[in-house]
Structure 1
């Protein structure tokens, strides 16, 4: 599969085209369809929940270059203006994400990004003369502090305010832009992988090796998930028996947030594009699916930069989204939060409630936003950020690694992900501002902040076996083991729970493993409720504590290896995953390197490590 087969922004049929009227009295322009993004970032990570993507002025405190696109008004007249935007940090200060809308070179009188919550903020009126029918519309960032805009609407009717109801808004937007509601058929695939992180990539590689026709649907323009250059987490965990696959997609063990992640992206993309049986649909967000006789029959995805809907039918499906979207949408039972310490006997008296609670709750490991600074040869000027200090308080920092993590019982890692990310923005900007007031840090300039959240835990789809902390701690060997790991069980908690003055830093508790290695059974990698759905990555079937060790990317990659091979066996025998686990588990284990002549065990650095001790 070559790069020419990948849907990239430049190839979108509507990307950069002129926004035109569909009703002779109004015109809607989606910012994701802008022909020139300027310095604004296309943020699609919250689209499954919000129902839309948006442009983000991620300037690290410096206003970014204007984003712009062509627009054609239906006729001259006085147009009423609305912009779909929000004040992401409301309070007793000037809104940090302010921006203007320009028609041609003229700015509208209203300053946008000043109303709390996502809403259609009114922009007053603008006179469009006969010589201005064809013009440009632009977003002008005023602050460099995360202003955001999803769409701009012009109407001759003062009462034509757009709907904000999420049940009505998507179809209204499609109608106004003139996009069809019928999805374009993409044909049938043996395996449809939703989520192009390390686990999804690994599954594509092994499925391809078995002659499986694969579609990979991924909501970002680059593969790798948390390992990508957009988030920059190194791939932790051992390769196990899967080094030949994981070598193609992993990262070196550089410090988290290192720009070397961009080089790892190049290696990964090159190797993935070399696969012959895989089609990639990057910058596509899955937004619905079809069930037939209790099975997933098809999924629908929307191409972010032009709104085109695409329909994919498949025989087998893999959920490697991290958030368990396929499992959730198909009606699978899933878990979220911490189990009671009694349900799986996961109690650890030394750490009490920090480890496993008396009663189940919604606490999960949080999401990280990493960042760093660079030294300059002059004193750095930085705007006042009173809106950040209420979170950062007096905390001082010049960089942030994995410990910059936020979770809260009242905040859901899916539905409140934007709130979580924005809270971390405030923590970062405030801590940095505190730091550069100190003489030794005065020349440090913000160089990079991820605008994507790096998630650790979300929905966990229930399979035939729920992998627990006891399974890992006691090194339970299963007859259908397909993944091996040695890292300790590693569960995070917010330092605030122990009285720490800020709420955006986390700490880890490590629990040792009884016999060096632990094993994950194939029964934890397919859904118990939907017969043609497998899981790989953080949404596999496990408890909160059971996720602690194998949640890292090389281990998740091993899950991808197993599910990709299993998809090949599903095609070979015309069976579903559960039947493969019952009737052909030795063949699957052999493909994964866990049966017959064993390949060497490899750690994350590519070195051979000791074999597990023989058990009696």
Structure 2
């Protein structure tokens, strides 16, 4: 919670003290500007998120909420929710307008300086809340991403330079398998290591959040890889959770590995084409911190550190002539004569459990345009989505939401069968 003067109060949703059943989603900061709270209830409304804020003055306030209708169309919005202020539910239902925008929640009379706020999920289908803005005047906040970023910083009193700075021998950004392996290797050489990861769990796709087993040929890295890998459980298996524990224990036993979970890097500071430092922000508190080091390792997965530093980059398939490479067996598929934007898609893993008793599942009309009559009760790695008109990084939230529709729609269709 942050105040900037007696007429305005601004709250980042991820700063809520009690998030209830809502979860912090930090995946799309570069696309929409901030982590946000997500009501991932699988069709059942999640428990209310709750917090308290201090108002500098009592009186009437207009309330705006930054949110998004992620599945717009001729049906009720999938992720609807309401805002409750001091036990009073505000007038307007939120999450009903397409695209990220400020939606008017209503006005409220503030009679106590210490005020409770709640988010009440109505559907259990991925409602999302980014921020809440109280204003004594009816004035919609800024919406364009660059303007919004500067406005946010002003609202929360964030300076251009993080208040805290730490220095290490090597800073690794990204705590996936590559980042964990790099941290162990550097620590065993006696280096003082910072391992920065934007999730609460190490491992990336190999973690229990995604549950893809690690395969490949480790060669001379076998000892290190065995300390952090995920065994060949079936993809999506809950047994992957036990490998989370192993991974964390093996990282934490090194006194010279300093682990920063839920810290997300957002820029690199360079001098003479060399990275001098990386600035990060905590995904739940908004606190910022700068990391200095002579060496940085980019394990972000999408090369963000190199991108921020201005490194040369490309996206898509290069023409066969660029590196004089060809694979006649597959022709244009692997060796295009002209470059294009084709890349591998994003996959989603999901599974269901037979409870042994009937379980209702609501209708999901907003998913039918994606799935048609297709039905399924689980999905493995081949549930992959890519489209030449969508960028796998810049449009990643759209792609993820498309996969939500695929999951919920195919499961709904399967539930119509008597055996389910």
Contact persistence 1:80–1:124 (CA under 8 A): yes
Counterpart of 1:134 in structure 2 is 114
Is the partner of 1:68 in helix, strand or coil? Answer: strand
Q: What are the residue-to-residue correspondences of 1:319-334 with 2, within 5 Å?
A: 319-334=298-313
Q: SS where residue 429 of structure 1 aligns? A: helix
2:381 paired residue number: 402
Distance across 1 between alignment mates of 2:218 and 2:329:
31
| Distance in 2 of aligned mates of 1:272 and 1:429 | 37
Contact 2:14 2:37 in 1 (8 A): yes
Whole-angstrom distance in 1 between the partners of 2:335 and 2:364: 38
SS of equivalent to 1:208: helix
- Decide whether aligned partners of structure 1 residues 181 and 294 sit closer, same or farther in structure 2, where only a CA change above 3 A counts: closer
Alignment of 1:367-382 (within 5 A): 367-382=346-361
Q: Secondary structure at the match of 1:400?
A: coil
Work out the CA distance in 1 between the residues paired with 2:230 and 2:260: 23
How far 1:178 moved relative to its partner?
Answer: 3.6
Contact preservation (8 Å) 1:47, 1:285? no
Note the C-alpha offset of 1:204: 0.4
Q: In the alignment, is the contact (CA less than 8 A) between 1:187 and 1:312 conserved in 2?
A: yes
Distance 2:81 2:151 in 1: 25
SS of residue paired to 2:169: strand
Query: What are the residue-to-residue correspondences of 1:167-316 with 2, within 5 Å?
Result: 167-316=146-295
1:436 to partner: Cα distance:
1.1
1:295-347 Cα distance to aligned partner (Å, 9 max, x none): 11111111111111111111011111110011111111112111223333443
In structure 1, the partner of 2:125 is 145
Which blocks of at least 5 consecutive residues in structure 1 are unaligned? 1-18, 443-616
- Say which SS state the counterpart of residue 205 (structure 1) adopts: helix
Task: Name the CA distance, whole Å, in 1 between partners of 2:294 and 2:58.
Answer: 53
Distance 2:331 2:47 in 1: 51
In 2: Cα distance, 1:91 partner to 1:250 partner: 43
RMSD of aligned alpha carbons: 1.4
Match of 1:157 in 2: 137
Higher mean C-alpha deviation, range 185-194 or range 310-319? 185-194
Matching of residues 519-598 of structure 1 within 5 Å: none
Shift of 1:181: 4.0
Give the TM-score normalised by the residue count of structure 1. 0.67
Cα distance per residue 1:40-77 (max 9 Å; x no partner): 11000111332201000000001000011111222222
Is this contact kept in 2: 1:189–1:314, CA < 8 A? yes
Partner Cα distance (1:172, 1:257) in 2: 41
1:171 CA drift (Å):
2.9
Aligned pairs, number: 420
Deviation at 1:400, TM superposition (A): 0.4
Residues 302 and 309 in structure 1, CA contact (< 8 A), matched pair in contact too:
yes
What is the CA–CA distance in structure 2 between the aligned matches of 1:187 and 1:254, rounded to whole Å?
39
Structure 2 counterpart of 1:123: 105
The structure number with the bigger radius of gyration is: 1
* Range with bigger deviation, 280-289 or 83-92: 280-289
Aligned partners of 2:264 and 2:283 also within 8 Å = yes
Q: Measure, in 1, the Cα distance between the counterparts of 2:33 and 2:66.
A: 12
